[in-house]
């Protein structure tokens, strides 16, 4: 099991979500975390935007990893939202984004949070997998693709 799948329930993978802007998709994520984990949606969206003001979380190739620190959160949480239409996201390659992996971490984030982010970036750098995640019509299969993915083992 990889670090992302350990914190990503199947019910938090959504495909073909209709959101016309970064603001709308952040609100959608806020609503998802509020419904699934009783975290106020405003807290989620405010934290995501606070992080985004430091620089875009868009990686390029149509993907982004919006993330934020949440006061009172005990463990990291993740969600995957794939949009029906790509949106502008200020990514380094200026490509619009349609696949977003959201990560919420405790306010006193640790090395573990950086490891999760690093692993998500590694997963998204796999071109073939990234394209399947961006096109697979079934949310359960998107979750399965993430669940079955294995990070490269470090040669330590």
Active-site residue set: 67
Torsion of CA 28, 32, 33, 34, to 10 degrees: 90
β-pair type (77-87, 13-17): parallel
DSSP character at residue 12:
G
CA-based nearest residue to 138, from 66, 90, 82: 82
Cβ-contact 94, 64 below 8 angstroms: no
Coil/strand/helix, residue 3: helix
- φ/ψ of 55, rounded to 5, equals 150, 150
């Amino acid at each position: 099991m990889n670090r992302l799948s350990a914190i990503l329930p199947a019910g938090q993978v959504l495909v073909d979500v209709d959101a016309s802007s970064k603001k709308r998709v952040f609100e959608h994520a806020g609503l998802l975390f509020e419904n699934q984990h009783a975290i106020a949606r405003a807290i989620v969206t405010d934290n995501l935007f606070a992080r985004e003001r430091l620089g875009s979380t868009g990686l390029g190739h149509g993907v982004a990893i919006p993330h934020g620190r949440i006061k009172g959160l005990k463990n990291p949480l993740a969600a995957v939202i794939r949009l029906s239409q790509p949106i502008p996201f200020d990514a380094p390659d200026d490509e619009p984004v349609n696949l977003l992996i959201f990560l919420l971490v405790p306010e006193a984030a640790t090395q573990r949070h950086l490891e999760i982010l690093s692993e998500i970036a590694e997963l998204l750098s796999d071109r073939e997998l990234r394209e399947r995640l961006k096109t697979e019509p079934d949310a359960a299969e998107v979750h399965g693709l993430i669940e079955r993915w294995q990070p490269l083992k470090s040669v330590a």
